[in-house]
């Protein structure tokens, strides 16, 4: 079994979740980085403002993945696989995902597993969770 060379829990949300739920936001094993699911929480507060639009929540979820990837030594060019989980799956939601993919990975699309769910673990206001696998040199 390969041992994790680095486990990450970022300041703010990551540190809170690590303490509260005993989990990490990312693990790096050699040149492979796996992130845990990141939602559209507001950095520093881990809240989901009720006035936030669905599009803004998706954009923030991708920003949170960006932050975790960066801290682990990767970027969107390194991402090879995305798992996404969606409350209320529909064409509008799929459109938000595609917008983000095209903006963040314009040279090539990722492998993508997209799953509709009835709820997500961070609470009733969470509508999307995105996890990534990246390969770095």
Orientation of helix 91-104 relative to helix 54-72, angle to 10°: 40
* Alpha helices in the chain, H assignment, sequence order: 13-21, 54-72, 91-104
- Please give the pLDDT value at position 4: 56
pLDDT tens-digit readout, 63-104: 999 999 998 899 999 999 999 999 999 999 999 999 999 999
Virtual torsion, Cα 52, 53, 59, 63, nearest 10 deg: 10
- Please give the pLDDT value at position 49: 76
Q: Which tokens go with 85?
A: 């989980």
Count of CB atoms situated within 10 Å of the CB of 57: 21
Compute the chain's Rg from CA coordinates: 14
pLDDT tens-digit readout, 93-137: 999 999 999 999 999 999 999 999 999 977 778 899 999 999 998
For the 6-135 domain, the top CATH level (class) is alpha beta
């Amino acid at each position: 079994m390969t041992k994790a060379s680095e486990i990450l829990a970022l300041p703010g949300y990551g540190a809170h979740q690590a303490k509260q739920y005993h989990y990490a936001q990312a693990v790096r094993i050699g040149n492979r980085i796996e992130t845990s699911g990141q939602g559209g929480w507001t950095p520093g507060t881990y809240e989901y403002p009720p006035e936030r639009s669905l599009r803004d929540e998706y954009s923030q979820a991708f920003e949170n993945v960006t932050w975790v990837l960066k801290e682990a030594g990767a970027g969107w060019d390194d991402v090879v696989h995305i798992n996404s989980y969606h409350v209320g799956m529909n064409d509008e939601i799929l459109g938000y995902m595609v917008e983000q993919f095209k903006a963040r990975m314009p040279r090539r699309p990722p492998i993508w597993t997209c799953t509709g769910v009835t709820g997500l673990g961070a609470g009733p206001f969470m509508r999307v969770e995105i996890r990534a696998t990246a390969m770095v040199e």
